[in-house]
Every structure is written in structure tokens, then in C-alpha cells.
Structure 1
Amino acid sequence: MSTHNIGIIMNGVTGRMGTRQHLIRSIVAIRNQGGVSLGNGDYIMPDPILVGRNEEKLRKLAEEHSIQRWTTNLGEALADENNTIYFDSQTTSLREEAIKQAIEANKHIYCEKPTATSLESSLRLAKLAKEAGVKNGVVQDKLFLPGVMKLKRLIDAGFFGDILSVRMEFGYWVFEGDWQEGQRPSWNYKEEQGGGIVVDMFPHWRYVLDHLFGSIQSLSAVTATHINSRVDEEGSTYNATADDASYAIFELNNGIIASVNSSWAVRVDRDDLLTIQVDGTEGSAVAGLRGCKTQHRVNTPKPVWNPDIENIIDFQDQWVEVPDNQLFENAFKIQWEMFLKHVHHDEVFPWDLLEGAKGTQLAELGLQSSKERRWLDVPNLNV
């Protein structure tokens, strides 16, 4: 049995998502379990070096999680031949230039999405990585949520028959920051800083729809900034310049219609912050982040529209939960382990920088559709 150490430059992990999901719940968790098993008695052990601009935050984070290496000098980390992977979870506006530097330093790339602030830049990164021959991947965590994995299990089993439509509802009320602190950073509401729910969430919807149901062929979207004034982390009022809600319809290449609502200005009256309803000729399902429930055609009630009498059907009671049947780990950790295996001995990893560019493409088309008030086709991408 042998352990293969892989040096990972982790840039931007002092932020909320970087700290919680990528560092603590993924890399630290993998280290604590003894590495990633290769199935032959060997293990991959991640050896992270934390990179950022704030020396105090880096030192504290490293000490809290028994990490020996950290630096404020990205160039220094890139120059170290022991570091073979570059990971980026900085704000989007900083990501492109750092990834370029990492590709030039011949590092394998793994990063958050959006991969860049524009489709042109995202495609440029994909092309650079391909030409340099470095392996590359983009975080697509929703595919590894327990609820979505159960949904995929149903699709693969043919449970739905012919799938007709998909309805997705995402969002929650993000407090304005005046009488109660907001749950999201203020830059999310500033277009000039790369904010907006379309830029944030359409990349997710792209890979969820593409990999579960079919390629997106066309779209129509309407965006809104429902809350125009918010209060930032310093207590200063600012004007929200980015969209905080979107209402979109996607037509897939196989005829499936997906209706997707995303909002940071909605109060939740559903099973989860994200729900995905799939309706087919043989059955339907509703998946959340962790759970998934089904209704087969033989168990479907027969309601009759009559607003003059009280409804006697308990619709919520007509669904059956899909059992876990397996241990579900953290979605980010699952994908990290897959990428580490991809780097170490070439296991398949389809979610590359080109896939990331597809998410940026969908966000740009969504904003364009809303601005121009029309349907738009989604062209194929390649590098």
C-alpha cells in the first residue's frame, strides 16, 4: 500500500463557499479519512497550500485545520513543482487571469463557476487548457446532491416513460440587510462586480438540464430586480444593479420543456430551497436537495375541477419517498475525489472548462433574452 501526495493550490478559500464546502467539507474531510482510495490499496492524499490576499485569514484558517502551507504569493505557489493542481474559488472577476497563470505554469485546473465573466473569456480558458494539455474540471455540485442522484436513478430505470416537462423552483428570501443581516454578500447584487442571479444560477441549470434531461436548444427569459435598495456588510445603503430573480423556459433538443424560476425575493412554501418536478407518461417525481418522492400513473388521483365544492383529495399524501439505499456524501467532496482520480490515473471526468463555458453561455443568452424580450437559440460550443 502506498500514498500518493498531490499538491493543491487553493486560491480564494477564505470566502464562504471556499471555506465551508471546498476546504472543510472536501479537502480536510478527505485528509481526515486517510485520502482517496484507488481500490488497490493505494491512496491519493491532497496536500493543500492556501492562497489569498489576507495573511491573517490564511494563517487562522490553516491553523484551525492543521494545514502547514499557506501564502499570499500566488506566483510562488505556482512555481513549486510539488503543486500539480490549481483550484480557484475567488470572485469571478479575478478568476480568469489566475487560471491563465496556472495553465502557463502547467498546472491541472479545477475551479468554481462561472469560469470567467464572459463567454469569450470562458472559451479562451478552455482553449488554453486544451492546447497546454492540462487536465481541467469545473465544479458542478448539484449533480451530486442526494435528491438529484435519486432523480437520476429514476431516469436511468425508465420510471417516467416519456418525459414531458421539468419544473424547477429555486430560491428564498434574502434579507435586505437593514433590520436583519443578509445571507448573501452584497456583490451578488451589483452587476458591475459580476453579481446577479442569472450569472450565479444559470450555469447550474445548464449542467443539470444537459446531463439529466437533454441539451438546451432554445430559451426565453425574463429577469427582474425586485429589491432595488439593500444594505451592505458595513451598514451602508446601496442600489442593487443586478437581477435578483429570473423566470425562464428552456426547450430541450428532445422536446422536453423546462420551466425554471430562480429568486432571492421569494418566501418558501415547498419542500426545499430547490425542487425539481419531472412529469412523464408513466410517472412523476419531485426532488429536493436530499429527498425525492414519486407518483406512478397507477397511483395518480383523479381530481375534477369544481371550485364550488371543497377539495377532498390530500394531494401531498399521494407521493412515495425514494429510499436512500446508499450513503450520500457531500456533493463537493464527491466531485473533488473524482477529479483527483482523474488527475492521478486518468479516470473519466466530463465536466471540463468547456462545460463551464456552456454555463456562461446560457447566462449571457438569458440576460439577452430578457433585454430583447424574445426567444433565443443556444448554439453548440467547441474549442
Structure 2
Amino acid sequence: MAARRSIGIAINGVTGRMGYRQHLVRSLLAIREQGGVPLAGGGHIWPELVLVGRDPDKLAAIAAQHGLTEWTTDLDAALARPDVEIYFDAQVTQQREKAIRQAIAAGKHVYTEKPLAESSAASLELAELATAANIKNGVVQDKLFLPGLRKLKRLIDGGFFGQILSVRGEFGYWVFEGDWQVAQRPSWNYRLADGGGIVMDMFPHWNYVLEELFGNVRTVQATTATHITERVDERGETYLADADDAAYAIFELEGNIIAQLNSSWTVRVNRDELVEFQVDGTHGSAVAGLRGCKFQHRAGTPKPVWNPDLPLTGKSFRDEWTEVPDNEEFDNGFKIQWEAFLRHVVAGEAFHWDFAAGARGVRLAEAGLESARTGQRIAL
């Protein structure tokens, strides 16, 4: 039997929504359930988990629920363990930089949620520290591994679009205010003092999606809004929501591609999925969401004529599109990237979603906020 390579992982922020659901349950525990991460030369990587957080009762309950034994509220103690080789951070953004610095100083490889830090300067410094310490580092860029975007990437790689002209994206949903219905996102997201705001949350995502699929961002022009200024927190107390809850942006990409992306927690969904990207090219167009992707080739493009006096007859415009087939089995995007990072650490396989990539995402968020503040188009 091929050897099993155990690797200790301190996972910080596991009591939070993202840390628990996507990273613990759907990624690391799912990896253990499948027997580990297979290696090309045989054998498997087996994650040994140390849960880290601030609430001992919640940590103990999570550990007991999933048959885990190792947990602590002492980050220094977790980082001092010789069996812990990787530190993962899913805390709120304001706590992240300090903890990552501790992990780098302890010589641990670091994988983290985004944004990497609260500023691009701090993000670049973390990248430099990680390089100097010769540690492997990575930032979660999960949307690249969504089935819908992987199908879109397949169309791009196959030359389907011809020359890509534009990208239009819609992301968001209605986050309840917390009074007559409980909010489905934590209250810190809507307070500037706690690091909230949709620009810092979503623009790092848009940077890697645009960069990886279409081209580097050259300029950004954005308008932000705080549409709902009063919300109710987890304790039932009303608070001032002063962080941006919507952003409307135009990005110029290399290759003269124009991208328009709307991000909002104050929009009711009238689309097939919570996020959708429409890509238009000279030879065809496609619309990709979380899981699905449909396309329309130029040979099958209908020829609409504007006439508001007559009702539409025949097929609706939506029915003129064709679904991209799955052609493969799609796993959870967070889990796929976890497996890639573990192979990167253990087997040295390539992994380019590093701190430098994370810093570019933070820089785009800063540029978006600067544009919204000044009313100017900002060059990157």
C-alpha cells in the first residue's frame, strides 16, 4: 500500500460561516472522507486538523460533532506545534494580517481567505515576508473553480468567442435588514469600522476572475452606495450601516475588453443564478453562472428588430441559447483549490494563486474605492 503523508493544518476562524461550511466541512473533512488527496507518484496527503478560534464552547462542539480532538483558543500554541505545517485563516479581515505575520514568523506555510489584508501595501509586505521566509503561500480564489466558470474557460480556450469584446457581470441578492427577518450575513459586513463593505469583499474576486479569464485590469471607474443605512445586528440591536452595500463599476482590460460588473446586497434576484457573467465576442456569446453556462454562436444568433408595437412571437430570446455540457464531474471549488495547495506544499506542484495575486485583488478594491471617492477613472 502506498504511504500516507500526514500534514498538520491549523484552521483559524472555523466557527465562522465560511470557515466552517466551505473550508472545514466541504473541503478538509470531505478530503478526509475520500481518503486524502492522491499524489501523482502514489500515496495520499492526509490532513490532520487543529481547530483555532476565540470561543472554546463553539470549538469543542464543532470538534465533537465531527470526531476531531484537537482545538485551541491559543494561536501561538497552535503555531508552535511541530506537527502543524500549514496555517489557514478564515477570520474577519481585520484580524488576518496579524495572524498571518505570526504564522510566517513561525515558519508555517500559509493559505488564507481573501482579502489578504486591509491594504495593498500590507498585502505586498506579507508577500515579501513569505518569499523571504521561503514558505508556500496562497489565497482562496474559489470562483475560478466553479463549474460555470470552468465551462466558460473551456469556451475561451477553444477559441469560441473570436475576439472578446465585453464582459457584463451581475452579482448579489437581498440581505435582510435583520428586523422583521434575520439577516443572512454577519453585521460586521455593513460597518466600516469592522472592515465591512462590498468593494473590499468582492473586487478581489473580480480581479482574479477578470485577470485569469480575460486579461489584466488597466483602469477602473466605480460608483458605490450605502443604500440601507440602518440594520439590526445578531443581538437584536439597531446599528448604523455605513459601509458600501452596492458597487457599480466599469473596468478596462488589456486587449481593449470592457467589463461592467454590478455587486449588490440590496438587489432582488431575477436571473438564473446569484452571479452571472455575459461574454460577447465577434464569433459568439456566452452566459456563465455558478454551475451552468450557455452559449450562442454567430451562426445561430437571431436577428431581432425593434418594434415595441408588436408582441414577441415564437421562441423567447432565452430559448435561443444552448447549454454547455458538463463533460466532466465538477467537485466543490473550495475543495479543489485546497487539494491543489496541499499538493503544492507536499509535492511542489505549481500553484500561482499566491500572496502576490491576493495583493493585486486588494489593490483593485482600493482603486475602486478611490474612484468612487474622487469621481475619477483610476489606472492600475
Match of 1:244 in 2: 245
Distance 2:64 2:239 in 1: 36
Q: Is 1:233 the equivalent of 2:260?
A: no
Structure 1 position 28, deviation (Å): 0.3
Query: Structure 2 length as normaliser, TM-score?
Result: 0.99
Paired AA for residue 195 in structure 1: G
Structure 1 position 81, deviation (Å): 1.1
Distance 2:350 2:64 in 1: 35
- Which ranges of 4 or more aligned residues in structure 1 deviate by more than 6 Å? none
How many residue pairs get matched?
A: 378
Match of 2:11 in 1: 10
Match of 1:339 in 2: 341
Match of 1:64 in 2: 65
Over residues 256-313 of structure 1, what are the superposed CA-to-partner deviations in whole Å (9 max), with x where a residue is unaligned?
A: 0000000000011111100000000110000010000000001100001122222225
Over residues 313-353 of structure 1, what are the superposed CA-to-partner deviations in whole Å (9 max), with x where a residue is unaligned?
A: 51011000011111100000000000000000110000001
Deviates more, 1:33-42 or 1:168-177: 33-42
Alignment of 1:1-383 (within 5 A): 1-312=2-313, 313-378=315-380
Distance 1:47 1:151 in 2: 35
Over residues 231-267 of structure 1, what are the superposed CA-to-partner deviations in whole Å (9 max), with x where a residue is unaligned?
A: 1111111111100000000000110000000000001
Structure 1 position 167, deviation (Å): 0.3
- 1:251 aligns to what SS in structure 2? strand
Structure 1 position 7, deviation (Å): 0.4
Structure 1 position 40, deviation (Å): 2.9
What RMSD over aligned residues (CA atoms) do the two structures have, in Å?
Answer: 0.7
Distance 1:120 1:192 in 2: 19
- 1:90 aligns to what SS in structure 2? coil
Structure 1 position 41, deviation (Å): 2.6
* Gap runs ≥5 in structure 1: 379-383
Paired AA for residue 33 in structure 1: Q
* Gap runs ≥5 in structure 2: none
* Residue identity (%): 62
Distance 2:69 2:3 in 1: 22
Distance 2:161 2:92 in 1: 39
Distance 2:317 2:291 in 1: 21
Paired AA for residue 84 in structure 1: E
Distance 1:118 1:35 in 2: 35
- 1:67 aligns to what SS in structure 2? coil
Distance 1:50 1:335 in 2: 20
Distance 1:120 1:40 in 2: 40
Distance 2:21 2:78 in 1: 22
Paired AA for residue 182 in structure 1: A
Paired AA for residue 346 in structure 1: G
Structure 1 position 143, deviation (Å): 0.2
Over residues 135-194 of structure 1, what are the superposed CA-to-partner deviations in whole Å (9 max), with x where a residue is unaligned?
A: 100000000000000000000000101000000000001111111111111000001100
Query: Structure 1 length as normaliser, TM-score?
Result: 0.98
Paired AA for residue 329 in structure 2: L
- 1:149 aligns to what SS in structure 2? helix
- 2:261 aligns to what SS in structure 1? strand
